[in-house]
DNA sequence: ATGCAATTGCAAATCATTTGCAATAATAAT
DNA sequence: ATTATTATTGCAAATGATTTGCAATTGCAT
């Protein structure tokens, strides 16, 4: 099935260290998430994976996504829909602008968790695990189009 | 069914102005969301409503939630689960800390959208409709309990 | 090479939400 | 007040997203 990539070996190591097996299915899903440059949902990952390996099952995709999330190798994003999106763990903290017009996702880097820890008193004593912010609105293009 | 409340008349007005009817079912759902002090999900709203009006249907709850969201009378919150939570439109912008240990939700007021508009260059030209931030982690109590 | 436990595919189950439709009821017009 | 109009309701069935049980398969440590 899928084999080569720069990250493969380090992925294999991470899985094995966690007592997991490095299977072709998992390598494939990881690769697609990486290539996807963020923001694919489970079904889209499944469809793309299937093009390469037609016997792959949707359950395996879901199971893999869970595991990768657990091992902190992907982030699960919530855009206010009733399904989630996934992206490879990014190097720097960043967040997303979702355009309600065209669905486009714009990334912006911002160390929000660091900022909030300082700015919000309620954060004292709260052990932050993850900060997720999503901003919905209309991007430049769509904004122009809307006000006729 | 349900009848009196300080806000009833203003709700009725808002609905009627939007060409909607003010039905007992809708009044009931609105009341429960308000009493719920935020953070109820659709099913919990349904269960509580059913205690007062056993013939109410779940579809009506969903339909009402949609409508209230549309009319900007409730906010829909996304805590990274595969269902949503609802709260009556709050007076001041605030956000949520969700404890992964006990599920407790801690609110904090913070004018984040105003701040972000200034701090993030990518926001230029983006017409912000809604900002939602959720912070997951462990609250004071659970944090103590976890490190044994 | 071998054995055992982890993982897979498949189908069926479950959970969250939506929809079609005939019956009912809120509002506007009389 | 009565009536006509049309939105809304309850119910059951449909859909969409995710999870689970299980027998067959396959990684990986030995």
Mutate to test the interface with A, among B41, B122, B124, B125 (most CBs of A within 10 A): B122
Which stretches of chain A drop beneath a pLDDT of 70? 1-9, 147-148
Domain region containing B27: 8-88
Closest alpha carbon to A84 in B134, B41, B80: B80
pLDDT in the model for residue B13: 93
Residues 90-119 of A with CB under 7 A from strand D: none
* Amino acid B141 CA to nucleotide D21 C1' distance, rounded Å: 37
Token pair of B106 as six digits: 């801690």
Would the pLDDT of B147 be above 80?
Answer: no
Closest alpha carbon to A49 in A26, A74, A83: A26
Of A39, A61, A88, the one marking the end of a domain is A88
pLDDT in the model for residue A64: 98
Closest alpha carbon to B93 in B107, B76, B79, B73: B107
Find tokens 């008349």 and name the residue. Answer: B9
In a domain, B3, yes or no: no
Question: Tell me, what DSSP letter sits at residue B89?
Answer: P
Same domain, B101 and B79: no
Same domain, A25 and A55: yes
pLDDT in the model for residue B5: 42
Cβ contact A16 with chain D strand, < 7 A: yes
pLDDT in the model for residue A2: 37
pLDDT in the model for residue B3: 37
In a domain, A124, yes or no: yes
In a domain, A2, yes or no: no
A20 Cα to chain B: minimum distance (Å)? 24
Domain containing B129 — which CATH number? Answer: 3.30.1490.190
Task: Assess A110–B contact: CB distance below 8 Å, yes or no.
Answer: yes
In a domain, B70, yes or no: yes
Task: Assess A42–B contact: CB distance below 8 Å, yes or no.
Answer: no
Same domain, B98 and B36: no
pLDDT in the model for residue B28: 98
Distance CA B32, CA A137 (A): 29
pLDDT in the model for residue A105: 87
In a domain, A141, yes or no: yes
Same domain, B20 and B69: yes
- At B96 the three-state DSSP class reads strand
pLDDT digits (tens, 9 = 90+) for B45-104: 999 999 999 999 999 999 999 999 999 999 999 988 999 999 999 888 888 998 888 888
What is the number of CB-based contacts under 8 A between chain A and chain B?
A: 116
Percent residues over pLDDT 90 in chain B: 51
Same domain, B23 and B82: yes
Same domain, B75 and B30: yes
In a domain, A3, yes or no: no
pLDDT in the model for residue A67: 98
Cβ contact A138 with chain D strand, < 7 A: no
In a domain, A1, yes or no: no
Same domain, B139 and B98: yes
Same domain, A46 and A100: no
Same domain, B15 and B72: yes
Q: How many domains does chain B have?
A: 2
Task: Assess A41–B contact: CB distance below 8 Å, yes or no.
Answer: no
């Amino acid at each position: 099935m899928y084999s080569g990539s720069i990250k493969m070996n380090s992925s294999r190591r991470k899985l094995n260290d966690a007592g997991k097996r490095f299977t072709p299915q998992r390598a494939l899903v990881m690769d697609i998430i990486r290539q996807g440059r963020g923001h694919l949902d489970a079904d889209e990952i499944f469809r793309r994976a299937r093009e390469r390996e037609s016997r792959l099952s949707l359950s395996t995709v879901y199971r893999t996504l869970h595991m990768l999330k657990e091992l902190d190798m992907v982030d699960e994003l919530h855009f206010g829909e009733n399904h989630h999106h996934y992206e490879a763990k990014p190097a720097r903290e960043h967040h997303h602008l979702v355009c309600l017009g065209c669905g486009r996702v714009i990334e912006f880097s911002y160390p929000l968790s660091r900022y909030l820890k300082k700015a919000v008193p309620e954060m004292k004593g709260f052990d932050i695990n993850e900060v997720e912010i999503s901003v919905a609105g209309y991007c430049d293009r769509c904004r122009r189009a809307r006000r006729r």
